[in-house]
Structure 1
Amino acid sequence: MSPAATAVSAPAYTGHLTNGDPTKAAKSYKPTHPGKFEVQFRDGEYNSCLVALQDYSKGETIAMMSHASPSKAIRYSTVQVTENDHIELNSDLLYCNHSCSPSVHFNVSSPDPSKWHAEALRDIKQGDVLEFFYPSTEWNMSQPFDCSCGAGNKCLKRISGAKYISPEVLNTYVVNDHIKRLKANQQQNA
């Protein structure tokens, strides 16, 4: 059985079902990790974000992914955890947006789903927006997009998944083991 198939079952999370309407989302919002982080709802599609409610030190676990469940569908809300498996986070971690200069890493390299977690890549202060590098988990994204993360020269401009990033650039990021394996296989077959 694949790791994603053994992920812990959790109550249904509906944070992603508001069709981009922050007013609707804010009215029914209940934080999944009170005191750790919360969603800041902003006008516009995909503009809401996740904000730290406390300080975190580099390397510190921000949250376990204990709400995650396997997903047969691949969509914007899923996270790739192996070469073939994806999960729904079923938590406010869904609102951890992309950055080419991320503050958070979604660590899903363990074969044991109970060890999957979000960790601080640098010191994070209360009030900071939490962002992760999508290609650290995603090989070939279902919804590529033009990046507006504001990371200056580090910004990749177009985010489509690790498949489309050179090994030299990808090696400057913290990525999960399945991404490393997929990139190595891609290079062997080039």
Structure 2
Amino acid sequence: MSTTSTITVAASPPLALHFCSDKLAPPALEVQSDTIIDPLSVDHHVQPTWPLSADSLEDVFAYKASHDGIVAAQNGIVAARDLQAGSHLAYLTSQTPSENTWATLMTSKTTFVDVNSAFLYVNHGCTPNLTLVIFAPDANGSYPQGRSGEVRVRCDRNIAKGEELTWFYPQTEWVSARPFQCQCGAASDICVGLQRGSKYLTRSQLEGHELAPHVLALLDERGDCIVE
């Protein structure tokens, strides 16, 4: 049973940088560095930490290479093949507890897990083609069937091979540990601009995104007052 809900109020989307690139990384490429580095914290290419085999993403994800053939975490992730609307892509299996950082997912109002796979490098987008289902831990901190999340293609579109994959970070993140200016290219009335988390967005800005249960609960607690 899905643990996310779509907000239905009336209307009045890492890592976040999008680089010009149309090349796929070689399908068999397994890149790994010893230290997780925030790609937005440096001015040079950063090798991805996680191989595509982590969380069994090699069939659906590919690291994007720049025009000169360089594979870098900054480039993001593209589809390794055509992906059908609504299809299941992978389960996220990390249960490593953490504080809120640029490299974590929020799984409940009080818990976060490290993203120990290439999903870490999927860019934010305000018109995303992926959606993320979050599974909250139980009272003992255990996740159902060892899964903290499920990555799916959004139900409203197919994804072509080579297309960049994006998801809407405020879908799960109430307060982003590392805010950034979104450069997704969506229209000004759709793009959130400064991406800080769902806490700082209006309900109309969140409409149409499958928000995690903890985000919906925190929105109810917040009411209609937007925190500046």
TM-score, length of structure 2 as denominator length: 0.67
In 2, Cα distance between equivalents of 1:14 and 1:70: 19
Higher RCO (Cα < 8 Å, 6 or more apart): 2
Residue 30 of structure 1 deviates from its aligned partner by 3.4
Structure 1: which 5+ runs fail to align?
Answer: 1-12
In 2, Cα distance between equivalents of 1:170 and 1:63: 24
Question: 2:172 aligned with 1:137, yes or no?
Answer: yes
In 2, Cα distance between equivalents of 1:31 and 1:56: 17
In 2, Cα distance between equivalents of 1:73 and 1:116: 17
Cα gap change, 1:25 to 1:130, in 2 (>3 Å): same
Amino acid in the other structure paired with 2:179: P
- SS of alignment partner, residue 209 of structure 2: coil
Identity %: 22
Match of 1:118 in 2: 151
Pick aligned residue for 1:78 from 100, 104, 110? 104
Match of 1:148 in 2: 183
Pick aligned residue for 2:117 from 64, 72, 91? 91
Kept after mapping to 1: 8 A contact 2:123/2:166: yes
Higher gyration radius (CA): 2
Residue 134 of structure 1 deviates from its aligned partner by 0.4
4+ runs deviating over 4 angstroms: 13-16
Question: Which structure is higher in helix share?
Answer: 1
Pick aligned residue for 1:63 from 75, 90, 110? 90
- SS of alignment partner, residue 129 of structure 1: coil
Cα gap change, 1:37 to 1:84, in 2 (>3 Å): same
Aligned length, in residue pairs: 175
In 2, Cα distance between equivalents of 1:131 and 1:72: 23
TM-score, length of structure 1 as denominator length: 0.80
Deviations 1:80-124 (A, max 9, x none): 111111111200001111000011112104552527211101311
Q: CA RMSD in A?
A: 2.8
